[in-house]
Amino acid sequence: MTEVRIAVPNFGNSSVNSIRLYLRLIFHLFAVSGFWFVSGYGGYIWYLLITEKIELDNPDVLNIKWFTPCFLTNWNFLFQSCFLTMSLVYDMMEWMDKHESYIGRKLKYVRDVMFCGLVVPLTLFISSMFWTVYWIDRELVFPEIYDQLVPWWFNHCVHTNILIVLGVETLLQARRYPTNRKIELWLNGIAGVSYAIVYYSIYFLAHRWLYNVFAIMTWWQVCLYQILIWASTFVFYFIQFPINRIFHKEPQEIQEEKTEVQISEKKTDNNGLSSDSWNLKYRSKGLVEHSSL
């Protein structure tokens, strides 16, 4: 009996994937435009400070003037800008059905590793730690003198919107598991150690802290705070995957169930094979008996 299978296209999943692609493309387009605009505006402010077109006699302003590239906020904003740019390029390649090419696969790999290993842990740490300390005493992380340099929306772009972008990205893209856990953990660790080297070097060489929160601590408190910083980034790394799985359920594996006809056919085949085997055995036995006569 011949088995006939009819393949039914899954239009539901196809339409959902198309909608998600449209949403990702639009979101990444606006996000990339906004992030690079903010980066350009920040660079312009820094240029005015370096060229002394803005003169403010304040030690906190000197931190921005000479150490702008050293702030972790700027590192993270650069990481997010690069990630969003790669995401936009990959969306366009997927739109043109080029995402399965060698370049497309490599781009997707680098994009996801950067997102999981750098963007997520650093963004969660910066946003949560900044606003927590800001609400306690803003002078410890963002002195009031900074309001004369940057507008209020700029502060929210680098400390608040980064968290919103992270949330939208989590909703639009499934990353249920690490792309390469070993590399992602190394990136996370290297970023944390590198930044510690930077701001401790600035303290010992320039005799100033990038953040005033360190200035009110004793050295043993600084050490505990440093351990908290490193530990929190690793915690943020590991919790991103169960959070992602909340919004992106894993598709259940569809197993083909045998129909009654298939089962009956199998039984028939087995019975036939069994009877034939007994017949062959009986014939062989008969032939042996006749041959002995």
pLDDT at residue 263, rounded to an integer: 41
pLDDT at residue 19, rounded to an integer: 87
Model pLDDT for residues 213-236, shown as the tens digit of each residue: 999 999 999 999 999 999 999 999
CA nearest 107: which of 85, 122, 75, 80? 85
pLDDT at residue 26, rounded to an integer: 95
- Whether pTM exceeds 0.85: no
Q: Please state the rounded mean pLDDT for residues 251-269.
A: 42
Greatest C-alpha distance within the chain: 123
Using 50, 70 and 90 to split pLDDT, how confident is the model at 14? low
Do residues 43 and 68 lie in contact, with contact meaning Cβ atoms separated by under 8 Å? Answer: no
> What is the C-alpha to C-alpha distance for residues 268 and 274, in angstroms, rounded to an integer?
10
> What is the C-alpha to C-alpha distance for residues 164 and 175, in angstroms, rounded to an integer?
17
Q: What angle do CA 233, 237, 242 make, to 5 degrees?
A: 140
> What is the C-alpha to C-alpha distance for residues 241 and 176, in angstroms, rounded to an integer?
5
Please give the mean pLDDT across all residues of the chain: 84
Q: At what angle do helices 120-136 and 152-159 cross, to 10 degrees?
A: 130
Count of beta carbons in the 10 Å neighbourhood of residue 165: 20
Cβ-based neighbours of 46, under 8 Å, separated by 6 or more: 64, 65, 68
Question: How much of the chain, in percent, has pLDDT values that exceed 70?
Answer: 81
Question: Is residue 283's pLDDT more than 70?
Answer: no
pLDDT at residue 203, rounded to an integer: 94
Q: Please state the rounded mean pLDDT for residues 49-73.
A: 86
Using 50, 70 and 90 to split pLDDT, how confident is the model at 113? very high
Model pLDDT for residues 123-162, shown as the tens digit of each residue: 999 999 999 999 999 999 999 999 988 999 999 999 999 9
Do residues 185 and 237 lie in contact, with contact meaning Cβ atoms separated by under 8 Å? Answer: yes
Q: Please tell me the total number of residues recorded for the chain in this structure.
A: 293
Question: Given its phi and psi angles, is residue 7 left (phi above 0), alpha (psi -120 to 50 degrees) or beta?
Answer: beta
Of the two residues 226 and 257, the one the predictor is more confident about is: 226
Cβ-based neighbours of 43, under 8 Å, separated by 6 or more: none
Q: What angle do CA 158, 159, 165 make, to 5 degrees?
A: 80
Residue with tokens 């919790």: 239
Of the two residues 132 and 14, the one the predictor is more confident about is: 132
pLDDT at residue 277, rounded to an integer: 42
Of the two residues 180 and 254, the one the predictor is more confident about is: 180
Question: Is residue 43's pLDDT more than 60?
Answer: yes
Question: Is residue 268's pLDDT more than 80?
Answer: no
pLDDT at residue 11, rounded to an integer: 40
Q: In the chain, count of helices (H) and strands (E)?
A: 11, 0
Most confident range (mean pLDDT) of 227-236, 242-251, 268-277 is: 227-236
pLDDT at residue 13, rounded to an integer: 60
pLDDT at residue 252, rounded to an integer: 52
